């Protein structure tokens, strides 16, 4: 049985509030990448540390924001209440099937549309800044399997995999708790059957700091938004998102093993 958020202290979120709730995190990340990352780069800060400060910390703040927003709604600090509000339901066979479909769609869109990033950066408006770290720079030919990560030799360095996995958890839970756990149920009270379209478009635009990836991100964001909206289970987005973003981690582990 799907959770009914109307039974809880959930207020409708219209287009104005939606733009605000997507826009503020986007603005913070834009500032962090285009100002903080630049300053750290110019000061010669290690790329690994720069990555954590300019990208991971803002994503961690999204996780904190989702938990604070849950509390400010007047909800009890109990797992049962939290799971109901954020729709962390038990995964059914159908949910697992949709999770697999979502993961395959994410991989398909990434592979089939990867050329669009190279195409977009030809235009000045979509070009990446010179100070962008190589690990996230579309001008750099990235390899899944490598022996070096952000200037650090990988062989035997298991701490890199652990730290990277920690960053991954902040990324996934920060986004999924904020977008699909906290915001999506509120939007459904206003936009009804069109919620996934509006949610997916706003989530795509949130990634404006990766402007060269917007064409790839559009079908990915719409697919995830639709499936989570359809199934009313946030775990689907968490699991598929985590599995997709863990692909580079596999390469890191292979490089660490040597």
Please report, for residues 159, 201, 211, 215, the alpha-carbon distance to residue 103 in angstroms, rounded to integers and kept in the order given. 27, 19, 22, 18
Cα–Cα dist 72/108, whole Å: 39
pLDDT at 255 over 80: yes
DSSP annotation of 149 reads E
Binned at pLDDT 50, 70 and 90, residue 141 comes out as: confident
Contact 218, 113 (CB under 8 A): no
Neighbours of 99 (CB within 10 A): 23
User: How far is it, in rounded angstroms, from Cα 257 to Cα 247?
Assistant: 16
- Rounded-to-integer distance, Cα 57 and Cα 114, Å: 27
For 244-255, what is the mean pLDDT? 91
pLDDT at 8: 64
Q: Considering the entire predicted model, what is its pTM?
A: 0.92
Q: What is the mean pLDDT of residues 74-97?
A: 96
Alpha-carbon gap, residue 129 to 121, rounded angstroms? 10
Least confident of 7-11, 62-66, 80-84, 135-139: 7-11
């Amino acid at each position: 049985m799907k959770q009914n958020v109307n039974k809880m202290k959930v207020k409708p979120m219209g287009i104005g509030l939606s733009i605000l709730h997507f826009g503020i995190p986007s603005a913070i990340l834009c500032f962090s990448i285009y100002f903080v990352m630049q300053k750290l780069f110019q000061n010669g800060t290690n790329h690994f540390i720069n990555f954590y400060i300019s990208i991971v910390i803002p994503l961690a703040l999204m996780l904190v924001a989702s938990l604070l927003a849950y509390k400010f709604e007047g909800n009890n600090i109990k797992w049962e209440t939290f799971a109901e509000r954020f729709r962390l339901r038990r995964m059914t066979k159908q949910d697992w099937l949709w999770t697999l479909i979502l993961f395959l769609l994410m991989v398909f869109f990434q592979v089939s549309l990867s050329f669009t990033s190279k195409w977009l950066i030809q235009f000045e408006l979509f070009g990446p800044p010179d100070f962008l770290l190589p690990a996230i720079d579309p001008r750099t030919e990235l390899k899944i399997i490598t022996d070096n990560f952000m200037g650090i030799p990988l062989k035997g360095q298991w701490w890199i995999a652990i730290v990277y996995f920690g960053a991954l958890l902040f990324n996934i839970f920060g986004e999924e708790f904020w977008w699909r756990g906290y915001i999506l149920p509120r939007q459904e009270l206003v936009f009804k059957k069109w919620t996934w379209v509006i949610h997916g478009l706003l989530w795509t635009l949130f990634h404006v700091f990766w402007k060269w990836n917007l064409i790839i991100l559009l079908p990915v964001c719409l697919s995830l938004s639709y499936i989570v909206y359809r199934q009313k289970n946030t775990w689907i987005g968490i699991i598929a998102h985590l599995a997709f973003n863990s692909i580079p981690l596999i390469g890191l582990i292979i490089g660490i093993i040597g």
